[in-house]
Amino acid sequence: MKPNEGISYSLTDPGSDSDNYYAAITAFGEYLIPKMEEAFGAMADRYMDYLQKVNSGQVSSREVYLYESLMLGIFWNVYGGFAAGTNHRSVRLMKQMALLRTKGGIKRRVADMVRAGLGFRLLEKQSLAGRFLFPDTTGMEKLIQWMQSTGEFRKEAEIFSNWLRFLRQEDETFAFVSICKVREFARFFASESDDCLGEYTQNVNQFRQQILLNRHLREDKISVNKQKVEYHLNMMGAFIYNRALQSDFNKSKRKIVLLPACMKANPPAECKAEKAGLGEHCTGCSGLCQINHITHLGKKHHFTVEIVKHSSDISLTKKSIPDGCGLIGVACVSTVISGGLELIQNKFPAQCVLLDYCGCRHWSEKTIPTSLNLNELLNRVNNTSLISENHRLKNDQNQDNIAA
């Protein structure tokens, strides 16, 4: 892991790329999915039957619903105490601020000021962490309301709301047993994932301590204060969603790779990217910029590149995306699932690629350009000539350094 105080996770080994991580997550995913099937496959069956009735037969991949069950268990174990201990007035106030934040402009700035001043104190007091949230539909509703009030888990809360409607039409015993099962499996997942993926999240605990000490008035404090198990949950989610959505993505007539602005090699004042499309287009102002290299790869492998500031930008510009497009979203581990759910909700055939490490202002005052695994990107594009791209581009970068 990179010895940088502003990096909470890193998929790269010292002196090498992130190929080992992708081998590790694939092996862990193949191991975990049968375990999830054994733990709550029967519950997933009943949920899928329910969805077929209420959604006219429209259901997703079975593995996605198994993952949603795991997600519910993780969120309950991590945030249930806060949901149980936060009073209704605080939740209502923060839900109003979360809604105001979506309006943009001055309203967003006002909402962020309130969230910075009150949100962390009201919604994530460490003294509440040990509170017990009773495992029934009433407790689940409290958890969902708490998640909505943070403004950080909007898409996840929508998923749990669907599960809540399902559990409410079942008997109370089934709901109680189901929630207990997902909570128990979430504890199993926390232990197993730390053994298999913990080397990539070694800095998380240290980073969270820095957050508690140094970010009292940051509106993003809850967002960046995630536990290791949440990172591992998102890693597994990226693996499962990619598998579940790959077939539909492969059918798309055109593929667009959405790269975050944090990948720019040059600072904003020096970057020559031009506003176009969904955000910006690279003009090739730096030979050291991975966005530049990926843009050239796109010409060779038949995809286009758009630079966007945040995954939420997609929902604001979705009308400008032509029909039949497949999107590859690139994000850090802590935000990849929320961004991916944004794409899925808007019915885009999608895939995702993780940034090898985080580096934007949310993580450190001294920002660093982020990067991704090029072989994994081309794998998501569904191109067969994958090997050697990382090696070739490293050689290109070395030549650029020599020339400079």
Distance CA 75, CA 388 (A): 40
Nearest C-alpha neighbor of 5 from the set 280, 239, 203, 139: 203
Give me the mean pLDDT over the 392-402 stretch: 47
**Entry pTM:** 0.87
Tokens standing for residue 364: 């450190």
295 and 354 inside one domain: yes
* Residue 395, pLDDT score: 52
Half-sphere exposure of residue 354: CA atoms within 13 angstroms, side-chain side: 28
* Residue 31, pLDDT score: 98
pLDDT of residue 200 exceeding 60: yes
Q: How far is CA 119 from CA 281, 337, 363, in A?
A: 36, 22, 18
Pairing state of beta strands 274-276 and 350-354? Answer: unpaired
**104 belongs to a structural domain:** yes
pLDDT of residue 160 exceeding 70: yes
**pLDDT confidence bin for 400, thresholds 50/70/90:** very low
Range with lowest mean pLDDT among 88-92, 115-119, 314-318: 314-318
* Residue 403, pLDDT score: 39
Q: Which helix (H) or strand (E) holds 352?
A: strand 350-354
Domain that holds residue 355: 251-403
Nearest C-alpha neighbor of 352 from the set 334, 365, 339: 339
pLDDT tens-digit map of 217-234: 555 667 778 899 999 999
172 and 268 inside one domain: no
**pLDDT confidence bin for 39, thresholds 50/70/90:** very high
**1 belongs to a structural domain:** no
179 and 216 inside one domain: yes
128 and 169 inside one domain: yes
Nearest C-alpha neighbor of 9 from the set 375, 359, 395, 381: 359
pLDDT of residue 385 exceeding 60: no
Last residue of a domain, one of 234, 264, 290: 234
Q: How many domains does the chain have?
A: 2
**396 belongs to a structural domain:** yes
Range with lowest mean pLDDT among 40-54, 99-113, 188-202: 99-113
29 and 165 inside one domain: yes
* Residue 102, pLDDT score: 62
95 and 133 inside one domain: yes
Beta-carbon count within 10 A of 325 CB: 15
288 and 172 inside one domain: no
159 and 303 inside one domain: no
105 CA to centre of own chain: 25
- What percent of the chain clears pLDDT 70, i.e. is strictly above it? 77
Could you tell me what percentage of the chain is helix, strand and coil, using 3-state DSSP and rounding each to the nearest 5? 60, 10, 30
352 and 230 inside one domain: no
Nearest C-alpha neighbor of 166 from the set 309, 49, 329, 28: 49
256 and 214 inside one domain: no
pLDDT tens-digit map of 311-342: 555 554 555 677 788 999 999 998 899 888 87
199 and 344 inside one domain: no
